Chain A
């Protein structure tokens, strides 16, 4: 008799365990408003990037270009702003100009998504190689655009995207929740969502059932790209600068968060709710360890350890589909 536990439940229990652990270790400090606030400001960047990674992984692919795409988008936003506003960028900035700049950045991220989608869907390059190529190319373009320098000092309105609050609720958290909700809506309630899951398990059968698999892949990577555009807005605002190689350590973290959140590395399975819980776990652990003044890098090591433990747990619960077809 095999007892089947829902994956989300396992994750939730893990989360409770970690929170209690952090409370025991840190005492009441952990629950202080200030601490919870700071977590709420930190989570969204990685969160939105993880959503961008997750949707690609659901189709059995991967998107290695998300960080490069984020950086290029924020550089484009920054360049458009500085072109329009000139030297006093950090003090001026009308709503119109900012909307225009952000629109430009998100357009760029969309085009990048379409490029990835085209390579993967129509040329049939394996996702890992296609996005490895675009990652390098995009980073190159970013370096060329900035000559390797930092662009910094943004208008206050941009800064409020990542640092502001509405009725005491952090703006970036709000943005994250909206986009996580949107992603969940797409995955659960639209034909595209069902197609993405089905395609991740077996693309041929989808093709034979009349699913336009190429279009589904295009849309998947387009969405993935657009989410990096959103991430770009938050990241540039939080750093108050844009540069070609920011946040590179996030790349592997997004894979980690997705897998931890129950997204199958071979595609087909995964829920936004699982990913969100996984992100909270990661945030709680890193924040708790931070309060304990544990070295940041030890935290990285611990995350790696958690990933392995989760995979081993999955292995023993026997619900992992290891048929060797990862990353076509």
Chain B
């Protein structure tokens, strides 16, 4: 039997009347890779914060680490016990070198006053050796890749005598190859007896790496399972507590007419040899790893990142799309991958966000905004997508992820698009809200809108598209009709083609 490292019993946490955690028990053994999964707001991050001592559990909790019992567990206790958190944003300093980023934490912990740069390098190179990586220690963090930055963050955690590494959504910004490399590092830590708590929303990755998986829902731990007991669908069920309609998209509203046709589109350092067609009423999925060029292609079609050469035909006519306004005027809409920065103006009112794309259509004779039309348009949008908001004047950042994404959809549907490009439309959205967004998209296809659905979540693409193109390293490497195959076969195909080509 493996040795226990950490055990939490009866953890409750109440934030101003909201019960974030309800009598949660949690255990990690030495050298165990333990995954924590749950929806947004399920209490995952509160649990992480309690383990790292940033937040204290309510009275009655028993925290035991290596046999030592704590009543009042603080951040310092956590660090002393060798618990390190790697936050999702990595918390690095872009303006400092790799070496310094790795060593800073250790130097503060040892209460260093004067910086000995030899020691900085020594600490850094020791840490990189632990994971057999060869990071350029003198390079600024701003100049290295995201995957390397992830390694820097891990190295920083390894400078102490670390026993448990908590990784919060570590793979969000990584390509599949980089995820594989990360997993090698995690396994390597395991062989050294270091435990890893792997918090992720990518269920396939969780199933791949974790020895044990704990599911948390509405502040309650649903259970801890061993890897073999679970698969994707079962996990989803446990996380959401409901059987989500996982049926494949059976609708087919494809018309004969070609809406969009792309020939030999090329952009240096982004993509090349891109040719495909999109029909009215069709949902065309594009999948591929992060960095496969899918987002760049979408942005080329939307005028954000115009292509260098090649032709785009809209309704049979050759067009040039050199900026966003031209794209919009041709009936193209784009829901970007980063909702918080690209999709919405979070601090501003929902109403303003909804009408930003159509302001020039609601002017009166003097060129001024017509109040009545404005109110009408906002109300229609909000009602038709059933967005739940206290008032149109509430800032978007007060809404839930699902409702925020509906606001993004609303502002594009308001433009009456012929082509809607969705780039990761359900990132950070709860499973239930996800299904609702898919329904909206399917409804649009039924009305004849041509839809390009980009996602790295295979099941999302597969279950919502008529046709799928796989992109890899800037090219389209395969195209399949979803009615002719199954999700399992597609998944395998995808894995083979994207890995085999490295």
Contact = CB atoms under 8 A, between A and B. Distances in A.
B368 A190 contact: yes
B348 A201 contact: yes
B352 A194 contact: yes
Nearest to A264: B347
Interface string A14-29: 0000000000000000
Interface stretch (B189-197, B200-208, B278-286, B354-362): B354-362
B367 interface: yes
B341 interface: yes
Interface residues of A, number: 22
B324 A207 contact: yes
B356 A194 contact: yes
A57 to B, nearest CB: 15
Contacts of A321: 347
A194 B411 CA distance: 15
Interface in A189-233: 189-191, 194-195, 197-198, 201-202, 204-212
Nearest to A209: B356
B471 to A, nearest CB: 21
A202 B368 CA distance: 23
Nearest to A266: B347
Contacts of A262: none
Given A201-B348, A268-B348, A321-B347, A208 B342 contact: yes
B392 interface: no
A211 B369 contact: no
Contacts of B458: none
A197 B325 contact: no
A194 B342 contact: no
Interface residues of B, number: 28
Interface centre among B304, B327, B356 (most CB of A within 10 A): B356
A208 B336 contact: yes
Contacts of A197: 348, 352
A292 interface: no
A205 B342 contact: yes
Interface centre among A204, A212, A269 (most CB of B within 10 A): A204
Contacts of A165: none
Nearest to A198: B345
Contact of B369 (A190, A209, A210): A190
Contacts of B342: 204-205, 208
Contact of B343 (A185, A208, A210, A211): A208
Interface centre among A195, A198, A209, A321 (most CB of B within 10 A): A209
A120 B342 CA distance: 20
Contacts of B369: 189-191, 194
A211 B356 contact: yes
Contact of B325 (A194, A212, A268, A269): A212
Interface string B338-382: 000111111110001101110110010001110000000000000
B381 to A, nearest CB: 14
A269 B395 CA distance: 12
A291 B355 CA distance: 50
A265 to B, nearest CB: 14
B356 A202 contact: no
A206 B363 CA distance: 19
Interface of A: 185, 189-191, 194-195, 197-198, 201-202, 204-212, 268-269, 321
10 contacts: A185-B368, A190-B368, A194-B352, A194-B369, A195-B359, A198-B356, A202-B348, A205-B341, A210-B328, A210-B357
The 8 closest A-B pairs by CB, nearest first: A191-B359, A189-B368, A202-B345, A210-B324, A201-B347, A210-B328, A208-B342, A201-B345
